[in-house]
Amino acid sequence: MLTIKNLSKRFGETQAINDLSFNVYPGQITGLIGQNGAGKTTAFHSILNFLNYSGEILWNDQPITENTLDEIGYLPEERSLLQKMTIEQHILYLAKLKGKRAQAIKPLINEWLEKFQVKGGRKDLIKSLSKGNQQKVQLICTLIHQPKLIILDEPFSGLDPVNADLLKNAVVEMKEKGAAIIFSSHDMSNVEAVCDRLVMLRKGRSVLNGTLDEVREQFGRTELYVTSEWPFEKLQQLPHVTEVTQLHQAQRYLLHLDDPNAGKQIFATLTGGQYITEFSQQPPTLDEIFRMKAGEVDE
């Protein structure tokens, strides 16, 4: 388990991380979210000992050392590959830095190239690949040595939906093998798709921390999806409905409530004891929560 306790980091007058604490558990995926400048990359660099910091960072209850770093796979936000190396040379070079022997990694390369559908052979130069395929190779370099802790900084950036799904599948596979995984993303759909837990940073502080269900339930079930023959104007007049959004499907609406407890009365009013196609009361989506919390004004 990765344990972060009271982590703080200042750059001059800027407090990049402020008393941050959270855990990343084996066999789970944690999403680290927040606006640009919230402190996500600084947190990653602190875990990797790239920076001096105050507080405590432990891997399996021990400080992270040079030997520990061999158990970590890290994908930086800024992609960087050695352009004059072949795919095979690059993978073997980075695997060697993680303490792996070429004899152990060479037989795995074709399997990983196929898994990520890399358009290029192992003897092709990095510079001959498209940016997307270079990104896939860097992901392979991050994962092929089977790290126990995986840190991915904006891994979905620049990937089309098909390739994003390939990455999600690979990350979930590593999770099922017991790896502790943390990644940052601005795309809340990716976070919701694969994460078990969530930490949100705002100005270096944690403002949300828990499982996805725990985080969403904090905000109450204030969103009501209904499919109803009631007209738009009449839905707006229901008690505790603050806003009505007509969705793309015919007669399907999203009602925003100021009191989650109003759902029962609205159900009774809309149905009148009769069948209704849809009535689903939900907490806000993660995307909506991100917008709410990121936009809060400090007191």
Task: Report the CATH number that the domain containing residue 27 is assigned in CATH.
Answer: 3.40.50.300
Region 152-170: what's the mean pLDDT?
A: 87
22 backbone dihedrals φ, ψ, rounded to 5°: -170, 170
Instruction: Give tens-digit pLDDT for 262-290.
Output: 999 999 999 988 888 899 999 998 888 88
Give the domain-ending residue among 173, 196, 217: 217
Q: What is the pLDDT of residue 298?
A: 52
Do 135 and 269 lie in one domain? The reply is no
Query: Is the Cβ–Cβ distance between 283 and 292 less than 8 Å?
Result: no
Q: With cut-offs at 50, 70 and 90, classify the pLDDT of residue 105.
A: very high
Q: What is the pLDDT of residue 299?
A: 44
C-beta atoms surrounding 287 within 10 Å: 13
Residue 152, pLDDT > 90, answer yes
Cα distances (Å, whole numbers) of residue 297 to 21, 161, 211, 216: 22, 34, 25, 20
Whether the CB-CB separation of 207 and 201 falls below 8 Å is answered with yes
3-state helix, strand, coil in the chain (%, to 5): 35, 30, 35
- pLDDT at position 177 is 94
Per-residue DSSP letter, 199: E
Rounded-to-integer distance, Cα 261 and Cα 271, Å: 17
- The pLDDT score that the predictor gives to residue 221 is 93
- Give the list of residues 6+ apart from residue 285 with CB closer than 8 angstroms, or none: 188, 192, 216, 223
C-alpha R_g of the chain: 23
- Give the model's pLDDT for residue 295: 65
Nearest to 201 by CA among 31, 49, 14: 31
- pLDDT of 88 > 50? The answer is yes
Bridge-based pairing state of the strands 72-75 and 241-246: unpaired
Q: Which of 159-163, 186-190, 247-251, 281-285 has the highest mean pLDDT?
A: 281-285
In a domain, 299, yes or no: no
* pLDDT score for 296: 62
| Same structural domain, 206 and 260 | no
Q: Is the pLDDT of residue 8 over 70?
A: yes
239 and 207 belong to one structural domain: no
CA-nearest of 29, 8, 5 to 204 is 8
102 and 227 fall within a common domain: no
Does 290 reside within a domain? no
Q: Which domain holds residue 275?
A: 223-282
Global confidence as pTM:
0.84
User: Are residues 35 and 140 part of one domain?
Assistant: yes
| Mean pLDDT for the stretch of residues 53-57 | 95
Q: Is 35 inside any structural domain? A: yes
Average pLDDT over all residues of the chain: 90
Are residues 121 and 107 located together in one domain of the fold? Answer: yes
266 within a domain of the structure (yes/no): yes
Domain-ending residue, one of 217, 232, 247: 217
The answer as to whether 239 is a domain residue is: yes
Number of domains in the chain: 2
| Cα 197 from Cα 184, distance rounded (Å) | 12
- 205 shares its domain with 57: yes
The answer to whether position 292 is within a domain reads no
Query: Is 287 within a domain?
Result: no
Task: Please report the pLDDT score of residue 196 as a whole number.
Answer: 95
Percent of the chain surpassing pLDDT 70: 98
Residues 174 and 268 in one domain: no
Measured CA to CA, the distance from residue 201 to residue 18 in angstroms comes to 10
Percent residues over pLDDT 90 in the chain: 60
Q: For 17-33, write each residue's pLDDT tens digit.
A: 999 999 999 999 999 99
On whether both 231 and 189 belong to a single domain, the answer is no
**Domain end (from 175, 200, 217):** 217
> 146 and 45 in one domain?
yes
Q: 58: which strand partners? A: 3, 63
Mean predicted confidence (pLDDT) in 251-259: 93
195 and 265 share one domain:
no
**Domain shared by 69 and 183, yes or no:** yes
